[in-house]
Homo-oligomer: A and B are copies of this chain.
């Protein structure tokens, strides 16, 4: 989420456990989780989920067993919570599953690794239609197929909660290479990015401005109308397409530092700067017509990387700056840039729908 989350209006309704209506693009019909046994729900979900090429033991036992061909494995975990991280009035179930997978796959790619598998824990209100979980499963599947073929879901957990919550843990393989950390950038190197800068934040800003009803609540019909008007910006926010395959490509091309752009270019560049003990100076002209959107917009999930001065940048990366000596500094055309950013707790209204 970005700073825009702070503008989120409170949800006047306090009725429980109805948190799910209205669902974007999903007629609220068919059985709910409360109507079926856990086994019946899982029997509807598992066939929708892809197996992992590297799995030796898949879902159904106490744990899964995965191959680690190079003797190491990469691990990341990320939780998505209804309210601060997504709204069912805006995100279709498919979007939710897609984004939960995409953000984790992007973290694996940012180490220079190829994603191999996911485990997925979901907690949902008993009143949730089973079709919502099926949609989430389809989104997980389609995202893996599109961004990391061979990556599959090897295990999971299903719980009851007032708050729809997904926790995805993703695994990756380094193919014998060293991981690309945040700490390897050196002065004089190139700063490059893969993926667009700004559209996810713009999409979120539009949703907050144009897809909230007069009662202050996220509105599914307004969100649908917004999708028609700005399909790319809304999709960038609700179902991002990070350049996952470029993570290993960047590693092979000699990337010295890399991270997943989750909180905006300025904040994330500051992370590389601090971890590496260097500064980063962006070329303002390379940041598009409105550099502030590129610098401040969160959740783009592109890859920010540094490469040796004379390296040949791989296709998909473009140069946007230079590593400088000043530790921890982020500059634009030589001028120091504020790295202030969002925080998941500050200003968050827990009651907001």
Contact = CB atoms under 8 A, between A and B. Distances in A.
B71 A69 contact: yes
A113 B63 contact: yes
A159 B63 contact: no
A160 B350 contact: yes
Contact of A76 (B64, B113, B117): B64
Size category of the binding interface on chain A = 35 or more
Interface string A150-161: 000011111111
Interface stretch (A168-176, A186-194, A321-329): A168-176
Nearest to A348: B160
Contacts of A85: 159
Contacts of A345: 33-34, 36-38, 41, 126, 160
Interface stretch (A21-29, A54-62, A208-216, A218-226): A54-62
Given A57-B179, A74-B64, A167-B121, A160 B84 contact: yes
B61 A65 contact: no
A67 B260 CA distance: 23
A249 interface: no
A75 to B, nearest CB: 5
A123 to B, nearest CB: 5
Interface stretch (A104-112, A232-240, A285-293, A306-314): A104-112
A119 interface: yes
A277 B136 CA distance: 32
A231 interface: no
B68 A73 contact: yes
A316 interface: no
A120 B156 CA distance: 15
Interface in A114-160: 117, 119-123, 125-127, 154-160
A77 B156 contact: yes
Interface in A311-349: 343-346, 348
B62 A73 contact: no
A182 B65 CA distance: 13
Contacts of A14: 14, 16
Contacts of A63: 74-76, 107-108, 110-111, 113, 170, 172, 179
Nearest to A165: B165
Contact of A62 (B72, B81, B163, B260): B260
Most chain B beta-carbon contacts within 10 A, residue among A73, A155, A170: A73
A45 interface: no
A119 B169 contact: yes
Contacts of A163: 123, 161-163, 165
17 contacts: A57-B179, A61-B111, A62-B108, A63-B172, A66-B72, A66-B75, A67-B71, A68-B68, A69-B71, A75-B119, A77-B120, A79-B123, A79-B159, A84-B159, A119-B169, A161-B350, A167-B169
Given A62-B258, A84-B159, 7 more contacts: A34-B345, A57-B179, A68-B68, A126-B348, A161-B350, A163-B163, A165-B165
The 10 closest A-B pairs by CB, nearest first: A167-B167, A68-B68, A63-B76, A17-B350, A62-B110, A169-B169, A79-B121, A163-B163, A77-B119, A62-B107
